[in-house]
Amino acid sequence: MFLNDVIDQLVNIERCLKKDKTLFIRIDINSPIVNGKIVDDFRIRAHAFTLRLVSDAGARAVVLAHQGRPGQDDFT
């Protein structure tokens, strides 16, 4: 099997966007936090596009995310 064959079999979000379908989406929002405040929200904003696609299609999103690494001050 060639790499292109594997890539073609991957799930593309556009294939999943159906009205009343529920999608489980894992996002990476690790953002720098200083004094308890997010100082760069680029990653959070970047995921807004995907979540808007889901919403506009009439689907629902269950979002799984975490912030930081266990044992660090910014872990949530």
pLDDT along the chain (76 residues), means of 10: 72 80 88 86 89 92 81 66
State residue 33's pLDDT score.
Answer: 83
Is the pTM higher than 0.85? The answer reads no
* SS3 labels along the chain: CCHHHHHHHCCCHHHHCCCCCEEEEECCCCCCEECCEECCCHHHHHHHHHHHHHHHCCCEEEEECCCCCCCCCCCC
Give the residue extent of every domain in the chain: 3-64
Task: Give the Å distances, CA to CA, from 14 to 10, 19, 52, 57.
Answer: 12, 12, 12, 9
